[in-house]
Amino acid sequence: MSDKNYYDITEWNVGNPYEDIGEVINSIIADIKSRQTDSDMNEGGKPGAVIYIPAGDYHLVTQVVIDISYLKIVGSGHGFTSSSIRFNTPESEWADWHEVWPGGSRILVDISPEADDKEYAGAAFYVKRSGDPRISSVEFADFCIDGLHFLDDGSGKTDPENTYTNGKTGIYIASAQDSFRITGMGIVYLEHGITIYNADALAIHDNFIAECGNCIELRGSGQASKITDNLIGAGYKGYSIYAQNFGGLLITANNIFPRGASSVHFAGVVRSTITSNRFHSFYPGMLVFQENCSENLVSSNHFLRDHEPWPPMQAYDNGLDDLYGLLYISGNNNSVIANHISETIDTQYIMPSDATPVIIHVVSGNGNYISDNHIVATTEASEAQAVETGSCFSAQVGALLTTDKLETLAVTTVLVERESLQNTILDSGSDVQVVMDKTVNAFRATPTPGI
């Protein structure tokens, strides 16, 4: 028996999904609204629907506007493949590749926003509804949103395909909402992958969100949400994960790739947890707490900072120097406990030159607790430098696996500025590696073997 609340975009009677999937999905949503009009019929009445996107390429010219609850848009594969590698490979070589573009159930975002448009204008999917209750239980699953190309940003300093700028967004949620889910998605080459305002009970799980200017942005405010088990990597201009004025955010078991200006950036976030993630960055400022972040737990994560090994991307960075800190903490009563932090960088790449790199930088606030962090700092001998040719994969893997020719690098493991008082620093560096006023902060040095 067919289900009237299940729609296949290739079988719908309005529009051509291959030419403009946006027109088709908007027509389907209009049909759902026209049929589901009674808000309380036999303790139901508006069950929502499923919109299915089979594997294939679908251009999106018209923005999809979602203003109903209980809608699931689902495909048959996230289809992610690296566009950055493709665009940094001579086009003459593409003919020998097995495939060139992302696949699966792929939406090609052909929207072209103007510079003075509202920030949602370039979104493939725009979710907004006013009134009560909040829009609820909208799901995006198992398809690819591809921004196709980046554009010249006017700087004159970079290949346009490496600017991370095109004004496009994959999913933009403007309204306060409840219990949204984004799972199994592939999101690539968008200036903003996912932008969400005022989230409650949000789940962003098991996605591949990379090569976007910004990957995940939780803005406005929010609570009780999770970002888990994702593969994420923003460009050098933006955030891999950003959260603003959030409480009760769980960030766990993510693998965050390098090149993002930050792996995680919190602004005014409280009582949230960052645990059991693997963070990799080519720049300082991997983890940033600003605007009075308080009572957050950062525990059992692996942080790695090294130098960009792939020649096409070595000209770019996030603009921060090594005195900024890999972890930058501004706020009160945060706990940074039992993390493994590795910095492997040749001294020629340290900025400013001859500086002693800072690992954990407590800038302001009181009562922060930093304990039992294992910090390994090494410098690469000349023989260990990454190869200057070869694929992105081989360059990065080769750099990651090079450990046998490393030498100890002098670092400041913890720097506590005078504006920050009554902090506790335990077993996170030797007496000479931790720099702070020990008369107003508690300190216990990591024992030094043989002494």
* Tens-digit pLDDT profile for residues 11-38: 999 999 999 999 999 999 999 999 999 9
Domain layout of the chain by residue ranges: 1-212, 258-451
* Tens-digit pLDDT profile for residues 36-47: 999 888 888 899
Superfamily of domain 258-451: Single-stranded right-handed beta-helix, Pectin lyase-like (2.160.20.10)
Helix (H) or strand (E) holding 401: helix 392-401
**pLDDT confidence of residue 381:** 60
Least confident of 144-158, 200-214, 225-239: 144-158
- Among 179, 167, 223, 175, which residue's Cα sits nearest to residue 196? 175
**pLDDT confidence of residue 389:** 47
Q: How many CB atoms lie within 10 A of CB 85?
A: 14
**pLDDT confidence of residue 93:** 95
* Tens-digit pLDDT profile for residues 83-134: 999 999 999 999 999 999 999 999 999 998 988 899 999 999 999 999 999 9
Question: Does 258-451 match 1-212 at the fold level?
Answer: yes
d(CA 436, CA 349): 26
**pLDDT confidence of residue 400:** 60
- Per CATH, the architecture of 1-212 is what? 3 Solenoid (2.160)
The overall longest dimension of the chain from CA atoms, in Å, is 79
**pLDDT confidence of residue 384:** 40
Please give the average per-residue pLDDT across 283-296, as a whole number. 97
Question: 382 or 246: whose pLDDT is higher?
Answer: 246
Rounded to 5°, the CA angle 151-156-157 comes to 95
Pairing of strands 203-205, 231-234: unpaired
* Tens-digit pLDDT profile for residues 217-232: 999 999 999 999 999 9
- Among 189, 163, 166, 28, which residue's Cα sits nearest to residue 108? 189
Please give the average per-residue pLDDT across 316-324, as a whole number. 94
**pLDDT confidence of residue 33:** 97
As a whole number, the mean pLDDT across the chain is 93
d(CA 11, CA 95): 34
